[in-house]
Amino acid sequence: MSKDIIIELTINGKNIKAEQGMTILQAAQKNGIYIPNMCYDRRLKPYGGCRLCVVELEGQKRLFAACSTPAEDGMIVHTETPKLAKARKTVIELLLVHHPLDCPICDKAGECDLQDLAFKYGPSHSRFVAERKHDPERVDAPIVERNPNRCILCGKCVRVCAEHQGVGAINLIGRGFKTKVSPAFEETLNCEFCGQCIDACPVGALGAKPYRFRSRVWYMDEYEAICPYCGCGCTTNLSLREGRIIRARGKDGIGINEGNLCGRGRFGFDYIYSENRITAPMIKKDGKLVPVSWEEALSYVAKRLEDIKEKYGPSAIGAIGSQRCTMEDNYMLQKFMREVVGADNIDSAARFGYAKAQKALEKAFGVDFLPIKWKAPLNADFMLVVESDITSTLPVWGLNFIKAKNDGATLVVADVKETKLARNSTQWLRIKPGSGTVLLNGMMKVIIDEGLYDKDKASAVPNFKALTDGLKEFTLKAVSNITGISEDAIISLGRSYASSGKRLIALTSNISENTKSMNTILAAANLAILMGDDPDTVQAPAEFSNTAGMWMSGVRPLSGGKDVYDMLYEPGAVKALYIMGENPIVTFQDAARVEKTLKGLELLIVQDIFMKEAARIADVVLPACSWAEKEGTFMAATGNIQKTPKLVAETGQSVPDWKIFRNLARVMNKDLGLKDITAIRAAIADMIVSGETKDIRLSFNPASYEVMETISEEYPMFLVTSNILQHSGALSVLSKNLDSVVSDAYLQVNTMDAKKHGIHDDSFVKVKSKRGEVYLKAMLSDEVPEGTVFAPLHFAHAKVNALTYPSSNGGLPLVAVSIEAA
């Protein structure tokens, strides 16, 4: 499709313009002309299966499928003629022969494409008689239900799963009248459970189990809101009945996600109805948390903070913000701390990942905030993904990498684990854990040695000599030994990268990851600068829904204040800690050390929506509203600021976080000067504008390879940690829907390692590091290589983060462990 070449054609007597390469259907849709269809999906290659979109072309006798026929200059098209009406009526008639007349019990009724088209184009009676299908409904899989009797075999679900999602969990099996959509061998569906197939299905053959028999569409109210999970900032279409969210869907073409959703965004909304919600303020009395009034709780907090401030000074009080709370909430937290408490000890979990990435990018490019570009993968010729499971961290953005590769771009994935992108890549390089920095340095060494860069331009950048001197130790032999990749492969990768047109390097920077350090981001930036590429060619996305917004709202120590390393890993650094929307015992590294610090505080205030581990040991617990119970704004990883509305009533006595800080300040005889959310939003806008840095200042920064922990005879394996697709941090595990897909922690073990240690699938494994030991269920898989095991960090009861440790100096926090059958 070429946007530069415009063609003209006539549809139903109307002269229209279209881009060369568009199909007739696309040209018609762009110009507001309706052509019926059932198998077309703008995300997929034309299929031409349903034949409902047939049109007549002047000068041609036969009918043409509008979805697969290219529009041509001067073409005259008719979409509504007696001949077409007869053809469409026959198609509908044939579809209805086998389709059950169960609209009264079908959840799709009222929004079913077949139902609508049958009313508009279908016959009043059928000329055909055939035995209807009587296949059993399949409700044995989590979340997704299948009714093969309703399927019209349009193939949209099969194609969206394979082409768009890069999974291919279902297919058309059987022949003739026995053809059906099913997983291989008609087994239970076992996939990502993203639900994209449900939205793609034009009838009721695929459905969401949580929505089953809940409501008719005409009884529901529809709202658009921003997904509260990852940094994609997807727009979701939420259906409410009687003030309760009962369904989430994507809406075609709406939002940056254009209607695409992952499983978290589609099914994970139900966590707000968890029985674990905090419904009233609580104060610890005689060793137990007891409910109190808001007046008593705020008065108690105010007095305790004033006492500690008077005794130790304001620097003895710290606060931890939330990557999931709104920009307004985070702004008011930092404003309360700075203007009421008088302390700059404000930080968040982003310190472990996103903050390091931004610091590295600032050193390289001179800007303190570098958001990702949503369509960057789609505009690239060569994409390099280094030790980053992008489709688990930002699932919908990850789809752009798959689409770009399918459209002809080169996708190279360097990762120890066989991720989804690795399976969909042009080339997967299975590097050793944590060796991404070395691989990038090796590529630069090849490019410099072979003169594949603009020498004059690169040498004009500060620290170029320091870079070339630092790369001397990264010989092909050394890089090959450390990464496990052959010398020829390293040379080929360096040459391919240098010779490509538009290049892109993508790296996630998550709190849960332990295979990258700040040096990996620096090495990627060095490579981009060496090749003369823009800063936008290095993409390091913010992990959660408001990581970027929290960062830009001032939740970070701006003037020498203490960060999370000081506050949580240095005993006595603070005497009081105010935690908003975070659970450090589960999400931070070295859980035992964090818990010990929290228990040793004179005052611990936890403001949250759930009674989690940190809240259980707090002195004061304050109930906050969830994202659905308050209005606010999120800043996506792209830097887009998006409003999300209040959807449902508050739970119990919960109050929006920003309002708690406003009220607490008043109790402490301070007025923050911001009475409502509109005023807060204006203050945030002023802060962001005044803090903008637009001038690019390039600088090379030699990236060393520093492994803080190595394997030994006692601990002979590396533990790799990261996100998994079905969960996001520790929040999503409170969703019953998502819990039905993955409900427990596990340890991925290579089959050869399992055989060596006598470990079997689903058996328990003792995993031990220098800091502690945990017991996890084994999942035998060759997704991880020999000598490496993998575990997700989402599940509180598993305590996997008891094995890990923080790295404050940028070193690589790989974890050496031992495993044995339990």
DSSP 375-428: TTGGG-SEEEEES--HHHHSHHHHHHHHHHHHTT-EEEEE-SS--HHHHTSSEE
pLDDT score, position 80: 96
Do residues 611 and 734 make contact, with C-beta atoms less than 8 angstroms apart? no
Do residues 232 and 205 make contact, with C-beta atoms less than 8 angstroms apart? no
Indicate whether 513 pLDDT > 90.
Answer: no
Q: Which of 23, 54, 59 is nearest to 41 (CA)?
A: 23
Q: What average pLDDT score do residues 410-421 get?
A: 98
Q: What is the C-alpha separation between 346 and 189, in angstroms, rounded?
A: 46
Q: Is the dihedral of CA 345, 348, 349, 353 positive or negative?
A: negative
Q: What average pLDDT score do residues 334-345 get?
A: 98
Q: Quickly state the pLDDT bin for 2 (edges 50, 70, 90).
A: low
Q: What average pLDDT score do residues 665-685 get?
A: 95
Instruction: In the chain, count H helices and then E strands.
Output: 27, 32
DSSP 622-670: EEB--GGGS-EEEE-TTS-EEEE---SPPPTT-B-HHHHHHHHHHHTT-
Indicate whether 691 pLDDT > 60.
Answer: no
pLDDT score, position 56: 98
For 717-821, give the CATH class.
Answer: mainly beta
Task: In the chain, list all ranges with CATH 3.40.50.740.
Answer: 319-345+546-690
Tell me 29's DSSP state. H
Assign 176 to helix, strand or coil: helix
Indicate whether 692 pLDDT > 60.
Answer: no
Q: CB-based burial of residue 771 (10 Å sphere; 0-12 exposed, 13-18 middle, 19+ buried)?
A: middle
Q: What average pLDDT score do residues 359-378 get?
A: 94
**Which tops the pLDDT comparison, 639 or 809?**
639
pLDDT score, position 296: 98
Tens digits of per-residue pLDDT, 183-193?
999 899 999 99
Q: Which CATH number fits domain 354-539: 1.20.58.2240, 3.40.228.10, 3.90.79.10, 3.60.10.10?
A: 3.40.228.10
Task: In the chain, list all ranges with CATH 3.30.70.20.
Answer: 130-273
Indicate whether 247 pLDDT > 60.
Answer: yes
Task: In the chain, list all ranges with CATH 2.40.40.20.
Answer: 717-821
pLDDT score, position 500: 97
Indicate whether 693 pLDDT > 60.
Answer: no
Tens digits of per-residue pLDDT, 288-339?
999 999 999 999 999 999 999 999 999 999 999 999 999 999 999 999 999 9
For 2-80, give the CATH class.
Answer: alpha beta
Q: What average pLDDT score do residues 687-710 get?
A: 83
Neighbours of 335 (CB within 10 A): 23
Q: With residue 569 as reference, give the H or E element that holds it.
A: helix 564-569
Is beta strand 503-506 parallel, antiparallel or unpaired with respect to 382-386?
parallel
410: phi then psi, degrees, rounded to nearest 5? -90, 130
Q: What is the C-alpha separation between 809 and 518, in angstroms, rounded?
A: 9
pLDDT score, position 685: 93
Do residues 655 and 294 make contact, with C-beta atoms less than 8 angstroms apart? yes
Q: Quickly state the pLDDT bin for 30 (edges 50, 70, 90).
A: very high
pLDDT score, position 741: 96
pLDDT score, position 133: 83
Q: Which CATH number fits domain 130-273: 3.30.830.10, 1.10.3710.10, 3.40.50.620, 3.30.70.20?
A: 3.30.70.20
Task: In the chain, list all ranges with CATH 3.10.20.740.
Answer: 2-80
Indicate whether 124 pLDDT > 80.
Answer: no
Q: What is the C-alpha separation between 651 and 222, in angstroms, rounded?
A: 21
Task: In the chain, list all ranges with CATH 3.40.228.10.
Answer: 354-539
DSSP 693-761: --------------BSS---SSS-EEEEEE--TT--TTTGGG-HHHHTT--S-EEEE-HHHHHHHT--T
DSSP 48-67: --S-TTEEEETT-SS-EETT
Give me the CATH topology for the region 319-345+546-690: Rossmann fold (3.40.50)
Do residues 414 and 387 make contact, with C-beta atoms less than 8 angstroms apart? yes
Is beta strand 14-20 parallel, antiparallel or unpaired with respect to 632-635?
unpaired
- Take residue 608 and report the two structure tokens written for it: 């949250």
Q: What is the C-alpha separation between 779 and 795, in angstroms, rounded?
A: 16
Under 8 Å CB-to-CB from 568, ≥6 apart: which residues? 584, 588, 593, 594, 597, 598
Q: What average pLDDT score do residues 13-41 get?
A: 96
pLDDT score, position 690: 57
Do residues 733 and 724 make contact, with C-beta atoms less than 8 angstroms apart? no
Q: Quickly state the pLDDT bin for 1 (edges 50, 70, 90).
A: low
Report the range of poorest mean pLDDT among 217-231, 404-418, 658-672, 682-696. 682-696
Distances (CA, A) of 730 to 242, 584, 632, 717: 29, 10, 22, 26
Report the range of poorest mean pLDDT among 85-89, 122-126, 176-180, 497-501. 122-126
Q: Which residue reads 């290095």 in tokens?
A: 538
- Take residue 765 and report the two structure tokens written for it: 């494994």
244: phi then psi, degrees, rounded to nearest 5? -130, 135
**Cβ density class 521-539: b for 16+ within 10 Å, e for less:** bbbbbbbbbbbebebebbb
Side-chain-facing half-sphere of 638: CA atoms under 13 Å:
16
Q: What is the C-alpha separation between 657 and 327, in angstroms, rounded?
A: 10
Q: CB-based burial of residue 690 (10 Å sphere; 0-12 exposed, 13-18 middle, 19+ buried)?
A: exposed
Distances (CA, A) of 513 to 420, 469, 721, 791, 793: 16, 30, 5, 10, 9
Q: Is the dihedral of CA 271, 274, 276, 280 positive or negative?
A: positive
Indicate whether 97 pLDDT > 90.
Answer: no
Q: Which residue reads 């291989």 in tokens?
A: 184
* Alpha-helical segments (H) within 424-563: 436-449, 455-459, 464-470, 476-483, 487-499, 518-530, 547-552
Q: What is the C-alpha separation between 777 and 748, in angstroms, rounded?
A: 9
Q: Mean pLDDT over all residues of the chain? A: 95
pLDDT score, position 517: 87
Q: What is the C-alpha separation between 578 and 255, in angstroms, rounded?
A: 35
